[in-house]
Chains A and B, each alone.
Chain A
Amino acid sequence: GDSVTQMEGPVTLSEEAFLTINCTYTATGYPSLFWYVQYPGEGLQLLLKATKADDKGSNKGFEATYRKETTSFHLEKGSVQVSDSAVYFCALSGRTGGFKTIFGAGTRLFVKA
């Protein structure tokens, strides 16, 4: 079945450092790909998404590109802030899963001032 694998955390960075969180997926067909973020004490919210190959999703300085050839959707940010400290979930939704969203394990990010 469809699945999502993302890098284990926690990831600890200093403010203004470059961030990459790796995400790869296994799916039949052409799923949509998402990054969700969960700030401390809050529910999940959509950070960005891409619905077809080579699409780039972006929001709040974060970017991720849908790479079908490598089945990847890595999250990047050029300069992280303390306020970016959160848990980041890579996810996919596709026809074979009945359009249910399948989430990765989550990667906790700590940004130090």
Chain B
Amino acid sequence: SAVISQKPSRDICQRGTSLTIQCQVDSQVTMMFWYRQQPGQSLTLIATANQGSEATYESGFVIDKFPISRPNLTFSTLTVSNMSPEDSSIYLCSSKTGDSSYNEQFFGPGTRLTVL
């Protein structure tokens, strides 16, 4: 299993600013992901964070808006840039210990972002 922590747990930010969310896993993991979860909604995958290379973004998400770093096998950051109220959401970090279909995913507690 993997225990994931995120910082900050919540923040209130002004329009036009940027916020960087940190994700720390207590063990080395193969795959790390960033999701967005609107209140009462399902999870939307933003990108897969690749260790040592550029993240792989899903349709509708771009690097300029959501730059991601993954310097090693236990840590990743997601930046929400030039924020607008539409970016208000819960951002979840997730990992898989293997890259097979049967590997479960582990989730952090989430970062609740409110943009004014």
Which residues of A are in contact with B by a Cβ distance under 8 Å? 31-32, 34, 36, 42-46, 49, 51, 89, 93-95, 99-101, 103-106, 108
A49, A51, A106: the one contacting B41 at CB < 8 Å is A106
A104:B101 contact, CB within 8 angstroms: no
Assess whether B100 is interfacial by the CB under 8 Å rule.
Answer: yes
B interface, CB within 8 angstroms of A: 4, 31, 33, 40-43, 45, 48, 92, 94, 96, 99-110
Measured in the bound complex, the distance between the Cα atoms of B47 and A59 in whole Å is 30
User: What are 22 inter-chain pairs, A to B, with CB distance below 8 A?
Assistant: A32-B102, A34-B104, A43-B107, A43-B109, A43-B110, A44-B107, A45-B106, A46-B105, A49-B102, A49-B104, A51-B102, A89-B43, A93-B101, A93-B103, A94-B101, A95-B101, A99-B99, A100-B48, A101-B96, A105-B41, A106-B42, A108-B40
A101 to B58, CA, bound (A): 13
Q: How far is the CA of A65 from the CA of B65 in the complex (A)?
A: 41
- Tell me whether A103 and B104 are in contact (CB under 8 A): no
Interchain CA distance A108-B41 in the complex, whole Å: 10
A sample of 11 more A-B contacts (CB under 8 A), given A99-B100, A100-B45, is: A32-B101, A42-B109, A43-B4, A43-B107, A45-B107, A49-B104, A51-B101, A89-B42, A99-B96, A106-B41, A106-B42
Please, which residue of chain A has its CB at the minimum distance from the CB of B6? A43
> Which residues of chain A have C-beta atoms less than 8 A from B104's C-beta?
34, 46, 49
Please name all residues of chain B whose beta carbon is closer than 8 Å to the beta carbon of A99 when the two chains form the complex.
31, 96, 99-101, 103
Q: Which residues of the other chain, A, contact B41 by a CB distance below 8 angstroms?
A: 105-106
* Shortest Cβ distance from A87 into B: residue: B40
**Separation of A105 and B6 alpha carbons in the complex (Å):** 24
Which A residues are in CB contact (< 8 Å) with B99?
99
